[in-house]
Chain A
Amino acid sequence: DAGVIQSPRHEVTEMGQEVTLRCKPISGHNSLFWYRQTMMRGLELLIYFNNNVPIDDSGMPEDRFSAKMPNASFSTLKIQPSEPRDSAVYFCASSSQDGGGQPQHFGDGTRLSIL
């Protein structure tokens, strides 16, 4: 079975540019999560979706960040305009729907560097 697929794996861009990160969750999973990982702050939940609907976006740091899930097999995280402090590894994860909290399956992340 294919796991969670993220693209690109690496992104280097100049500040002010728009950045779009992509995620394909595991087929059949109803919940999708976007995380950011940095040395200083560890792993932070940015937003999660259930059945393609955003449930909690309280972790999204600023209005420059937006996320969409147009269908069950695709999600994007967009940063516009990007800033150097956005540099981090961004992970997408998915899980099957369960009120008790099922294990999450992570992609290998997008390493983002904003110059």
Chain B
Amino acid sequence: SQQGEEDPQALSIQEGENATMNCSYKTSINNLQWYRQNSGRGLVHLILIRSNEREKHSGRLRVTLDTSKKSSSLLITASRAADTASYFCAGISSGSARQLTFGSGTQLTVLP
């Protein structure tokens, strides 16, 4: 079963705009991670937020976590064409040590 489900499945924006992607998960988590995947490449880790954190920033990325709603969001500010990729959330369940369960991803297209 998938731990994370991203929303929307696809998002198309203009360069310079902000992009927001949401993730919902089903079971309690230790942490939630966001990854990016460019076409034909492997996933690249972006940011990790622990269950006791509510918000985290890394450069143009901002991640929030609401454990009461079992949801997270990834905000990319001032988007660039190079941000075009698929974005996945993945959770580490409280009951398992190292297994990440990935959602189906959001395909982000940033138009120049």
Contact = CB atoms under 8 A, between A and B. Distances in A.
Contacts, number: 57
Contact of A100 (B30, B41, B88, B99): B30
Interface string A97-108: 011111111111
B45 A101 contact: no
A55 B45 CA distance: 23
A91 interface: yes
Task: Please tell me the size bucket of the interface on B.
Answer: 20 to 34
B97 A45 contact: no
Contact of A45 (B31, B41, B100): B100
B103 A45 contact: no
A50 B98 CA distance: 9
Task: Please tell me the size bucket of the interface on A.
Answer: 20 to 34
A105 B100 CA distance: 12
Interface in B75-112: 88, 92, 97-105
Given A42-B103, A42-B105, A101 B97 contact: yes
Interface in A1-22: 4
Given A42-B2, A42-B105, A101-B92, A108 B100 contact: no
A98 B50 CA distance: 14
A100 B45 CA distance: 16
Interface of A: 4, 31, 33, 42-43, 45, 48, 50, 55-56, 91, 93, 95, 98-109
